[in-house]
Amino acid sequence: MNKMLPLAVLLLAFPGVTCAQTEELSTQRVSSLGLEQRWSAQAVINSQRDKVKYVTNDVDNVYVQSSAGVVTTLNAEDGRVLWSSQIGASDEHAMAAISNNKLLMVVTGPVIHAIDKFTGDELFAYRLPVQPSASPGLDDSSIYVPLVDGSLGAFSINTLRHYERYGSLPPGVARTMAWRYICNETIRHAPVVGSQLIAFGTDLGNIHAASTASGATAGNSRFEFLMKSPISAPVTYFSRSSEEFLLTAAENNRVFCISLSNNGKMVWTYPMGRQITEPMPVFDEHILVTTEGGGLRMLSVVTGLPVEVRANGNRQWNVADIEKLLAVSKTRVFALDNANRILSINRETGSIEANVSTASFPISVRNLLTDRLYFANNSGQVVCLAEKGTAFATYHQNRGRQPIMPEGLNADPEPAAEPAPTP
């Protein structure tokens, strides 16, 4: 059940937050990184017994989930609290929230909760026939849930909304599950959804792709790609021109790029030498790969080969001791190192420009959608950092959202010059 929390609860949730914690990521502290603090906000959490379990984001909002099951939604650009609700039973096991353009989906136990992500209104709560094995995939019309019986179940959002409202299925619909793809293999990572196909990897190292089209072909297998080694990282989806691709990695430390549009044809493969367990996002023509104990490397999307840096002699783009990629701007890569410091890295050369500690904010968000950085602590305080002088976020996957400025105006104006010192 979704319970909107009153203001009184919100005010009781603040104990434990100190000004010193806020100051650690103040504009003055992060200025050397080329960043400024854009906003600071407080999520609803009982800091005496709960802690922050997940912090996720999309291009519109930031979602903070507490261990008790309270979800607080913040506006991604200004930090305004849009709503907060108890999702599912208190202290029930939950997966990290996922979202599309309109909905937020939270899986608690065997139940899928669908919430209007801007208002917090619950649209439906549906109990799955089988426990989920991984986070779902989501597009505008359906939710795709990996199940512990080695299958992937597809559910129409409109069907589940109708079932919630009327207690019956829509006319012409025979069951709540639209289709089911059975592979009899364990699925531990969320599937990725393309324009016509959905793809996912299994513990055996196989990449399956099935049709998401309506009609008789829905759920039909389109291809199966065998890596001959167990999968080690989530599958990443990206597109170039009219073709769609998948990136994945296996426990034999190889990265694979395969064509989703061309029946799983392998485009290239590259041996990384170290294991990969994190997503491998694509920015323009480059892939950023975080390896276990090996740092952050940049590969070419076209060839899969390491990117060569010609400044100060030829060398590969490689930054050692990186634990997590945080965000990417037009000129910088921001990452967390193994000492829990934010590093500002020159995107062209791979050189480290500055670092700042984040000891008081141990929870960080891997933001692959925009250039904003988000951090939180276990008391529920959330901080957003942005590059200095940027009026709007840079959108990596939906560039149509970039504001169109009148001729002669710059969306990201240069920062004002410092005033001359008084003689």
CA atoms within 13 Å, Cβ hemisphere of 335: 27
Q: Reduced to 3 states, what is the DSSP secondary structure of residue 191?
A: coil
Residue 405 scores a pLDDT above 50: no
Q: Report the distance separating Cα 179 and Cα 290, nearest Å.
A: 35
- Is residue 74 within 8 A of residue 32, CB to CB? The reply is no
pLDDT at 418: 45
Cα-based torsion angle of the residue sequence 253, 254, 260, 264 in order, rounded to the nearest 10 degrees: -120
The pLDDT tens digits for 248-273 are 999 999 999 999 999 999 999 999 98
Rg (CA), the chain: 22
363-364/352-357 β-pairing: unpaired
The pLDDT tens digits for 69-125 are 999 999 999 999 999 999 999 999 999 999 999 999 999 999 999 999 999 999 999
- Residue 261: alpha-carbon gap to chain centroid: 23
The pLDDT tens digits for 272-302 are 989 999 999 999 999 999 999 879 999 999 9
pTM for the whole structure: 0.90
Query: Euclidean distance between the first and final Cα of the chain, in Å?
Result: 66
- Is residue 122 within 8 A of residue 165, CB to CB? The reply is no
Q: Report the distance separating Cα 54 and Cα 176, nearest Å.
A: 29
Pick from 158, 97, 161: nearest CA to 124:
161
Question: Can you read off the two tokens belonging to residue 343?
Answer: 């590093």
Phi, psi dihedrals of residue 319, rounded to the nearest 5°:
-120, 120
The pLDDT tens digits for 197-206 are 999 999 999 9
